[in-house]
Amino acid sequence: MTFSPFNEREDMLHTEESESTSEWSPATLHLVDEHERFRAKMAEWQKVLKDSDDEERRRILRDIAAFLDGEVELHARKEDEVYFPALEPYHATLLMYEAHDLIRNEVASFKEALAAWERGELPFGKVQASLERVFTLLHDHFGEEELVYFPAAERNWSEAEKAEVWEKMQAFLRDESETQDTQNQQGGAER
């Protein structure tokens, strides 16, 4: 199985409705910007993994695991704790929470496969297939949010609600940053 860019899925996102995104609220634009950054990273990793030796693959796969545990998990938590609760009065969001849980489970499976490969217990193709499942789920999930959930939020939220969601998201990010700073300081003191 070979990695390939997700051009077909990318084309699905270029609909008339999604082209009006320049008028979306700051919170929604923030999430869309992260989707775009994540898509670019995944596409780049797919390219470099294809032609890498085992040592380079190990480094790249560890970087990917850190990305999934860090940036992608933080993104999902912003949606779970701020964005989707604000959308719930207007649109069913249970499927998005379930999708996040499914992605988390596939990330855990990928990390288990990576650890088994590093111990020599699994061929690289199994790790590659597991990673491809994660990347496919992320791409599909981002597309669904951008085609269904984000437009629903933008149609239904008042300007005051849009501002409130953005304020809450910024507060969430500040809290996360402070927590990370505290953990880094404690980690430095323990060394």
First to last CA, the chain: 43
Could you tell me if residue 8 is inside a domain? no
Mean pLDDT over 53-75 rounds to 96
| Vertex 120: Cα angle to 117 and 123 (nearest 5) | 55
Could you tell me if residue 49 is inside a domain? yes
pLDDT at position 20:
64
Q: Please state, as a whole number, how many other Cβ atoms lie within 10 Å of the Cβ of residue 40.
A: 10
Cα-based distances in Å from 122 to 112, 136, 175: 10, 21, 39
Mean pLDDT over 131-139 rounds to 98
pLDDT at position 179:
74
Could you tell me if residue 17 is inside a domain? no
Could you tell me if residue 187 is inside a domain? no
Query: Total domain count for the chain?
Result: 1
The share of the chain scoring above pLDDT 90, in percent, equals 77
Cα–Cα dist 9/42, whole Å: 13
Could you tell me if residue 117 is inside a domain? yes
Output the domain CATH number for residue 85. 1.20.120.520
Mean pLDDT over 95-119 rounds to 97
12-39 residue pLDDT tens: 444 444 446 678 999 999 999 999 999 9
Could you tell me if residue 58 is inside a domain? yes
Q: Tell me the residue range of the domain where 110 lies.
A: 25-172
pLDDT band at 149 (very low <50, low <70, confident <90, very high): very high
pLDDT at position 23:
87
Could you tell me if residue 13 is inside a domain? no
The candidate with the shortest Cα–Cα distance to 131, out of 79, 67, 53, 51, is 67
Cα-based distances in Å from 60 to 10, 38, 137: 24, 15, 19
CA 66 and chain centroid, separation: 12
171-189 residue pLDDT tens: 999 988 887 767 667 765 5
Q: In b/e form, how buried is each residue of 48-84, taking b as 16+ CB within 10 angstroms? A: ebeebeeeebeebbeebbeebeeebeebbebbeebbb
What's phi and psi for 83, nearest 5 deg?
A: -70, -55
Residue 137 has pLDDT above 80, yes or no: yes
Could you tell me if residue 189 is inside a domain? no
